Amino acid sequence: MPALALITRRGACRTAIALIAITGIASAQPMTEPASVTAEARPDASADLKIPIAPLRGGEVLSTELMPATPPPGVSVEQPLDPETYVCGPGDRFEVELWGAQNLQLRLIADLEGRAFLARVGFITVAGKTLAAVRAEVKAKIRAIYPGLSFDLTLASPRTFLVHAVDYVQRPGAYPSRALDRVSSVIARSGITGSRRRIAIKHRDGTTAAADLLRYDLTGDTTYNPFLLDGDVLSVPFATPVVTITGAVRRPGGYELVAGKDLAELLDLAGGFSSSVSRALPIRLLRRNAQQQLTAIELAFAGQAAPDTSLQDEDLVVVQGSEELQRTVQVIGAVAGADPLDRATASRRVPFVEGDTVKSLFDRIGGIKAPGDLRRSYISRPHPGQPDELIALDLEALLVRRDFSADRPIRLDDTIVVPPMQYSVLIEGAVVRAGLYNYNPSFGISEYIAHAGGRTRTARDLDEIQLIDTSGHTHAFRPGMKPSPGDAILVPERNFSRTEIAQLVLAGAGIVLSGIAVTIAARR
């Protein structure tokens, strides 16, 4: 044995013999990689260092590999791995570092059952244990057999497993992930369409966790974006309520509210007020009423503090800046040259000119866009301490038919709203499939109800159906009536009288008694 001939002292001989025995760990376990470890996570073979050791009895060859000290290619980490929180599993690759008379590195691979094999020690279960717990267990068992050696255990390469993304994502399914990947890595690949703030994480053991990727993006706090575990299911719910904020804030845009669901939370997500904010002007809250008209609510500042108010889904908050102190009129909706406030609404502020009318203002800004609903336009005129006054506008008569009697004077701080055209009809009530249906000019009420699956058994008669138009007026059913885009068809349910309820109860009781009588007769 040439390798041992160089060691002359008795203590060194004992250490060398122990090293030869412990290096049997590598030869006793195949060096093949598990199928769960992808090529991207495989260390470069050229970086491995072979240490030749003399053959042992029985033809065994002692051979160990030095693993690179850096993470394998493709593994990006944003902080050092915490052994107290990293949970081991099948496919993890470990290194046992030995030093003393010789320096060696031994590789251990957790098999598909989550076990790692050590010569003269046996199998050690690593699945479900933290890296710190595995390290302590391996140290204790090796120290009991080889008390004279110095050694340690480290994680050489994390395992690969599958994680499922479901519900509101573009591409639901299973995604390969590493144990150092976070929730955001799978969500980015699945194409999220729902909430980024209330992602539910369901672990295999039945426990749950949550991820808030918006907070993670804004703060960098990794507690909002936890690590993934084997078999996790990421459930993305529908995003609601989503509120849009624009104006004098640092990060204007649409945000989902999950905590207080108020203006304070929205301002926090938007980064607070910008330097151009004007506290002399109120914050404008635009909200749709029951008739889907956009109404304005003014929220005054309390000194330097922002007003405290709760918010609803699809609200629009406009924080006015110092430029708003100029004499302007705001135009919201389908108008030329407007800046988008959200996916469905745009806004433009126009300098106010004394003597302006609706026609002269639209002539100056370039007119109305094609999808504007000219019949449902209106002026929202603020009054201190009172609700805004809503003044109906017939822009179809004014701008299309050139009926100048439909023109209206404009005042300072007026808001002109031109809602987008709706191309659907809403069907609600006692029908099989209530919801929105594409507008068809040849359809009457009966055809739309047939499209919705027909009336249910509890529906009232056909002549009791009601049609609600876009202005909020209710019309009774009449033959030949045809809805317009944006109208709603209401099929009321039938209310049973006391006499009918009593008759139903008696009929049911009679059926039960008949069944009992038949059963008794059959037994005889």
| The pLDDT value given to residue 9 | 42
User: Does residue 116 sit within a domain?
Assistant: yes
Residue 172 CA to residue 189 CA, distance in Å, equals 10
* CB atoms closer than 10 angstroms to residue 311: 23
Whether pTM > 0.85 for this model: the answer is no
Q: Categorise residue 85: left if φ over 0, alpha if ψ from -120 to 50, beta otherwise.
A: alpha
Closest to 442 in 3D by CA, of 482, 404, 403: 482
Residue 498's pLDDT band, with cuts at 50, 70 and 90, is: low
Residue 500's pLDDT band, with cuts at 50, 70 and 90, is: low
Bond preceding residue 241 cis, omega within 30 of 0: yes
* Cβ–Cβ under 8 Å, residues 216 and 231: no
| The pLDDT value given to residue 346 | 66
With the C-alpha atoms ordered 418, 423, 428, 434, is the resulting torsion angle positive or negative? negative
- In this predicted model, what pLDDT tens digit does every residue of 18-45 receive, in sequence order? 444 444 444 334 434 443 333 333 333 3
* Cβ–Cβ under 8 Å, residues 185 and 78: no
Does residue 60 carry a pLDDT above 80? no
Closest to 274 in 3D by CA, of 245, 251, 257: 251
The two beta strands, 415-418 and 328-333, are parallel
Task: Examine the domain organization and report whether 77 and 169 are in the same domain.
Answer: no
Number of separate domains in the chain:
4
Number of H helices, E strands in the chain: 11, 28
Give kind and range of the element (H or E) at residue 320. none
Residues 6+ apart with CB under 8 A from 333: 294, 345, 346, 372, 377, 416, 417, 418, 419, 420
Task: Examine the domain organization and report whether 196 and 308 are in the same domain.
Answer: no
User: Does residue 291 sit within a domain?
Assistant: yes
Residue 198's pLDDT band, with cuts at 50, 70 and 90, is: very high
* Cβ–Cβ under 8 Å, residues 123 and 115: yes
- Average pLDDT (433-450) is 87
> Alpha carbon of 104 to those of 143, 235, 450: distances in Å?
16, 45, 79
Residue 263 CA to residue 260 CA, distance in Å, equals 8
What's the token pair of residue 73? 């290619």
Task: Examine the domain organization and report whether 12 and 152 are in the same domain.
Answer: yes
The boundaries of the domain holding residue 443 are: 424-491
User: Does residue 363 sit within a domain?
Assistant: no
Domain endpoint, select from 309, 324, 339: 324
Domain endpoint, select from 267, 300, 324: 324
- In this predicted model, what pLDDT tens digit does every residue of 232-291 receive, in sequence order? 999 999 999 999 999 899 999 999 999 989 999 999 999 999 988 988 888 989 998 887
What's the token pair of residue 314? 């699809």
User: Does residue 216 sit within a domain?
Assistant: yes
Task: Examine the domain organization and report whether 194 and 266 are in the same domain.
Answer: no
Task: Examine the domain organization and report whether 483 and 462 are in the same domain.
Answer: yes
Amino acid (1-letter code) at residue 51: I
Point out which residues pair with 466 in neighbouring strands.
476, 490
User: Does residue 340 sit within a domain?
Assistant: no
Which has the minimum average pLDDT: 66-75, 236-245, 491-500, 501-510? 66-75
| The pLDDT value given to residue 369 | 65
| Long-range contacts from 171-176, C-beta under 8 angstroms, 24+ separation | 176/38
Domain endpoint, select from 236, 257, 283: 236
User: Does residue 507 sit within a domain?
Assistant: no
Does residue 17 carry a pLDDT above 90? no
Task: Examine the domain organization and report whether 153 and 173 are in the same domain.
Answer: no
* Cβ–Cβ under 8 Å, residues 145 and 169: no
Does residue 462 carry a pLDDT above 70? yes
| The pLDDT value given to residue 101 | 65
Task: Examine the domain organization and report whether 222 and 278 are in the same domain.
Answer: no
What's the token pair of residue 428? 């609600």
Q: What percent of the chain has pLDDT above 90?
A: 28
Residue 299 CA to residue 77 CA, distance in Å, equals 45
Residue 46 CA to residue 390 CA, distance in Å, equals 77
Task: Examine the domain organization and report whether 130 and 174 are in the same domain.
Answer: no
Does residue 111 carry a pLDDT above 80? yes
* CB atoms closer than 10 angstroms to residue 337: 12
* Cβ–Cβ under 8 Å, residues 168 and 158: no
Task: Examine the domain organization and report whether 166 and 307 are in the same domain.
Answer: no
CATH at 301: 3.10.560.10
Residue 160 CA to residue 35 CA, distance in Å, equals 9
Does residue 162 carry a pLDDT above 90? yes
| The pLDDT value given to residue 134 | 93
Residue 44 CA to residue 391 CA, distance in Å, equals 74
Task: Examine the domain organization and report whether 232 and 255 are in the same domain.
Answer: no
What DSSP string runs through 80-105?
---TTTPBP-TT-EEEEEEESSS-EE
Task: Examine the domain organization and report whether 251 and 318 are in the same domain.
Answer: yes
| The pLDDT value given to residue 70 | 45
Does residue 382 carry a pLDDT above 60? yes
Residues 6+ apart with CB under 8 A from 329: 349, 350, 351, 352, 356, 361, 410, 412, 413, 414, 415, 416
Residue 311's pLDDT band, with cuts at 50, 70 and 90, is: very high
* Cβ–Cβ under 8 Å, residues 177 and 188: no
Amino acid (1-letter code) at residue 2: P
- In this predicted model, what pLDDT tens digit does every residue of 61-110 receive, in sequence order? 333 343 444 445 556 677 788 899 899 999 999 988 878 766 777 888 99
Q: What percent of the chain has pLDDT above 70?
A: 80
User: Does residue 367 sit within a domain?
Assistant: no
Which has the minimum average pLDDT: 102-116, 206-220, 318-332? 318-332
Task: Examine the domain organization and report whether 172 and 220 are in the same domain.
Answer: yes
Q: What is the mean pLDDT of the chain?
A: 79
| The pLDDT value given to residue 63 | 35
Core vs surface per residue 272-305: b (16+ CB within 10 A) or e: ebeeebbbebbbbbbbbeeeebbbbbbbeeeeee
